[in-house]
Each structure stands twice: as structure tokens, then as C-alpha cells.
Amino acid sequence: MNLSVQLAPRNQHGLLLANPVMTASGTFGYGTEYSHTFDIQKLGAIVCKATTLEPRDGNPQPRLAETSCGVLNSIGLQNIGVNALIKEKAPLWARWQVPVIVNIAGETIDQYAKIANELDGVAGISAIEVNISCPNMRAGGAEFGANPKSAAKVTAAVKAATSLPVLVKLTPNTSDIAKVAVAVAEAGADAISLINTLKGMVIDITRRRPLLGNITGGLSGPAIKPAALYMVYEVAGAVELPIIGCGGITTASDAIEFIMAGASAIQVGTASFANPRAPLDVLEGIEQFMKKEGVKDIAELIGAARR
Ligand code: SIN
């Protein structure tokens, strides 16, 4: 069976994955944290926690709230910054067989471009995922992704700053995600990932106050799966680029739905919190499904529900 997928066919380096199962940014650390739980080298790709130009402490606590079928986070991009990532993490990744993709975020377009430039040519880094979708920042992040023009500007600036394949991660917190996707594609993105979290909140009724320190957060987990699936379907019909589906994927059958909607690859996110092996379980489930259905190549399933 062939499970390999090419996510950056137009890029000089390409981004060939052995299989379509990736981890979602912010749910799998730098990969190293999970390496004792299963053989992470079996995955298609690992996307690390969002990285900013300077280290960040993140938002005030509490930053996590469980909901009935998902979780709200308002981490606020706590991370070690791009220089420490290059010094401390990339040398480890360079010894791995699984490609590592660095998710980058910024408050200004210039910051995105600077990070992309720092990452260019660093051994161990296979691609960049541009995070214009984090709902937990005072400036930048999802502000850029909510609007086709600003989304295109960030994409073009990052593309000009690096030769690495550039994936752009979209926010569902916009009126027309397909328009944003088209703008990002025209600005030169190599692939599009979607969706990031849906903005939400929880109120602590005893304190009569919002529960999260940042008041609002981003909702992820099974609660958002049908919305994410619909948006993947919409975007796959609007652009020619490879799509990476994300949002509440917990099982292999969730993943196959996204692939049939038009995603060439998928990201497992929140499911890893409850089951650290979730990405591998999803991969093994996809393989079992292909065997059972007599599918020889994953390409037969990509967009199958659209034909
Ligand atoms: C966060 O760090 O606040 C979450 C990151 C994201 O939503 O992209």
C-alpha cells in the first residue's frame, strides 16, 4: 500500500510524507516529549509548538478549560523563541527520519518574515507552517488570518524570506474561509492547513467571572469536527493546493472523512492529550481501512467524497 503524500509539489525542496498523519501544533510539544510513548518516527510529520521571534511566557492562568466535548485554551503562544529552537531542538530533529515542520507566529508581518528567514536552511527543519490563526494574541495571529488581504501579505512576506515549503494555517473565525484560502494560494503558499481553534469562552458561575485568565480561548476537540470538515470541503473546492485537515480528529474514521473531503494529510491535535498514542492509532486505523477496502494508494481516497 502506498500512503505517501507530497504536500509541496511546487516547492524546490518538496515536502514528501511517508503517510498523511501529522501532529497539530501546540499539542505535541517539540516531538521529544512524546518519543517515549510510541515510535514517533512512524508518523508522516510532526508540527511543533508555535514559535515567535522572542521567547514568550504566554497568557495569565488559568489557560485551559475542559468543555463537554472539547477543550478551550488560551496559552498565548508560550514558547522558547526561534533562536533557542534552532540551537536546542533542530539538531535533534536533524537525526530524525520524520520531517519536522515549525509553526511560526508573529504580531507583525516583519516578525513572520524574520522568523522564516532564520529558519531557512536549518538542518532538521522541513517546512514552515504560518500561524495566522491563533485567537489568543492581543495583536497579530488570527487578526491576519481573518482577512484575505492581510493573510496574503503575511504569506507573501514569508515566501520571500525562505525557500522552505510554506503551509499556511487558517482560522475558522472569519466570514469566508475559502476567500482567505484563495488569497493565500495566490500569494504563493505551498499548502494550506485548516482549521485552528474556534474562539469561545467559559464562565465560572460561582465567581461570576470568565474562567480563563485571558477571558476567551480557542475551542478544539470533537466539538469542532463537523465545522472543520465542512471548511476543509469548502477550501478543497476553492484552491488547487494540497490541504491539510485538522479539527477534532480522534479516530481513523474521522481522519478518512477529512481525506475524502479533499485533505491530502491530516493533523491529530487535542486527541493526543487524552491518548498520547492517538496519532499512531489513527495511522494504523487508516492502514486497516485501506486493507479492508482494497485501497492500494491513499490518493484513491483523497477527495473521494467530492467526485
Ligand atoms: C496558543 O498558544 O495560544 C494557541 C496557539 C494557536 O491557537 O495557534
Q: How do residues 279-301 score in pLDDT, each as one tens digit?
A: 999 999 999 999 999 999 999 99
Q: Which residue has the cell 487508516?
A: 286
Q: Which atom of ligand 1 is nearest to the CA of 137?
A: 3
- Mean pLDDT, residues 100-108 taken together: 97
Exposure class string for 7-46: b at 16+ Cβ within 10 A, else e: bbeebeeebebbbbbbbbbbbbebbbebeeeeebeebbbb
Of 47, 51, 59, 73, the residue with max ligand 1 atoms within 8 A of its CB, to mutate for a pocket test, comes to 73
Q: Are 19 and 5 in contact (CB under 8 A)?
A: yes
pLDDT at 307: 84
Question: Residue 141 Cα, ligand 1 centroid: separation in angstroms?
Answer: 9
Identify the residue whose C-alpha is closest to ligand 1 atom 6. Answer: 134
**Given a cut of 90, is residue 196 above it in pLDDT?**
yes
Question: Residue 216 Cα, ligand 1 centroid: separation in angstroms?
Answer: 12
**What is d(CA 215, CA 196) in angstroms, rounded to the nearest whole number?**
18
Identify the residue whose C-alpha is closest to ligand 1 atom 7. Answer: 134
- What is the pLDDT of the chain when averaged over all its residues? 97
**What is d(CA 195, CA 231) in angstroms, rounded to the nearest whole number?**
8
Strand 191-194 to 166-169 pairing: parallel
**Given a cut of 90, is residue 33 above it in pLDDT?**
yes
Q: Report helix, strand or coil for 294.
A: coil
**Given a cut of 90, is residue 88 above it in pLDDT?**
yes
pLDDT at 140: 85
**Given a cut of 90, is residue 152 above it in pLDDT?**
yes
- Mean pLDDT, residues 252-281 taken together: 98
Q: Which atom of ligand 1 is nearest to the CA of 218?
A: 7
- Mean pLDDT, residues 162-172 taken together: 98
Ligand 1 pocket, CB under 6 A: 26, 50, 73, 75-77, 131, 133-134, 136, 196-197, 218
Q: What percent of the chain has pLDDT over 90?
A: 97
Question: Residue 5 Cα, ligand 1 centroid: separation in angstroms?
Answer: 27
User: For residue 182, what pLDDT band results from cuts at 50, 70 and 90?
Assistant: very high
- Mean pLDDT, residues 258-274 taken together: 98
Question: Residue 75 Cα, ligand 1 centroid: separation in angstroms?
Answer: 6
Nearest to 169 by CA among 84, 226, 241: 241
Residue 134 catalytic?
yes
- 154-157 long-range Cβ contacts below 8 angstroms, 24+ apart: 154/109, 154/112, 154/130, 155/130, 155/183, 155/184, 155/187, 155/188, 155/189, 156/187, 156/188, 157/109, 157/110, 157/112, 157/113, 157/116
pLDDT at 301: 98
The reported pTM is 0.98
User: For residue 139, what pLDDT band results from cuts at 50, 70 and 90?
Assistant: confident
Q: What percent of the chain has pLDDT over 70?
A: 100
User: For residue 171, what pLDDT band results from cuts at 50, 70 and 90?
Assistant: very high
User: For residue 111, what pLDDT band results from cuts at 50, 70 and 90?
Assistant: very high
- pLDDT, one tens digit per residue, over 53-69 is 999 999 999 999 999 99
Identify the residue whose C-alpha is closest to ligand 1 atom 5. Answer: 134
- Mean pLDDT, residues 198-213 taken together: 97
- Mean pLDDT, residues 263-285 taken together: 98
